[in-house]
Chain A
């Protein structure tokens, strides 16, 4: 009996009240939710041609691309976009076709564009890029970021890994004064998606009168 009395310890209540801690946490979470942002902004690197370089070019130095390698885009108001594949036919306004932004619009147009060599360069390069991405992301990949960028650069120049060379497209983007910045960005984005490295932005002020008359006839505004 005496032994039992000895071993009997006083039971202490070890429960700690967590309510103030929860209160504080709530406050901190509210602070972080209001004062921070989860959306990390990204950057689209844009390199513009320098004015001096452009002036110095004479007619011979200007690169001439084949007509079937060129696509001209006109970005209009109300998210509308028109394109001319190849050279414009000034007598026939129907060469200016309307399309939309995104997957089923410009991307499809670029993807299905067939050059005079009878190939769809954008589609071919896109498949090659997918293979390259898969190689880069493979579990036992030994490819460094530098090698990847190097390979990507080659792809954009139309040099496939199997030594084959495909022509590359040149896209001329004409944003009309009525279009918004979002439209312009969407057009630039398509260049990135379709791996087109040769694209030019030309304001309508620098467009020739013939072209202006043509797109007016075609209803581009």
Chain B
């Protein structure tokens, strides 16, 4: 009986160059990119040739969506907590520890004071969806400050060095932006950073 001998071939592929390329790519991504900040709604900012960098700390981010919904938040969780405490005592809203925990996990505030407790008792998975339909009210309360203005005031109280960064969507009607800007102007917050993308093409020619 003739035995068919299959010749065993060594199919070893050298992975070293591939590993080299991967390491390079990984280094590139780690060094050049910045982490996405969680935002309730994706916002496309307009472009400009301004090359000013946004400070890394002490920034109060004000987000305006294309529908004109306003959200705000700062990366310092202690400041956020201080703002919440001041706001809840001002509007006589009491929150239980679970709701406060949910608040601290959230990146931005978007619920009006009347809806805040209900929003924070939601399941964390449903909160992301619910916040997209909310937004801070810009209407003044019986002729006084609006809730949005109160939040900004409390942010200023919590951290006097805080800088305001306004991030609006390109497609937001100017009417909505104008209302927000004039509310800030009314409370003497005159220095703003408008967040934009760098227009490299325009800058170079």
Contacts and interface: CB of A to CB of B under 8 A. Distances in A.
Contact of A43 (B18, B173, B193): B193
A183 interface: yes
Contacts of B53: 40, 42-43
A29 B29 contact: yes
Interface residues of B, number: 58
B76 to A, nearest CB: 19
Contacts of B168: 181
Interface string B49-65: 11111100000000010
Contacts of B14: 15, 18
Interface string B164-182: 0101111111110110011
Contacts of A177: 173-175, 178
B192 interface: yes
Interface in A144-203: 175-186, 188-189, 192-193, 203
B170 A180 contact: yes
Contacts of A48: 181, 184-185, 190-192
B96 interface: no
- In this complex, the member of B33, B46, B174 whose beta carbon has the largest number of chain A beta carbons within 10 angstroms is B174
Given A48-B185, A180-B173, A189-B50, A36 B194 contact: no
- B contacts with A: majority SS: mixed
Interface size class of A (residues with CB under 8 A): 35 or more
A11 to B, nearest CB: 15
Interface of B: 12, 14-16, 18-19, 22-23, 25-26, 29-30, 32-36, 45-54, 64, 165, 167-175, 177-178, 181-182, 184-186, 188, 190-199, 202, 205
Given A43-B52, A188-B194, A193-B202, 20 more contacts: A15-B14, A32-B29, A35-B35, A37-B34, A41-B167, A42-B52, A42-B54, A43-B53, A45-B50, A45-B192, A49-B185, A50-B185, A51-B185, A102-B202, A103-B202, A180-B171, A181-B170, A192-B48, A192-B49, A203-B182
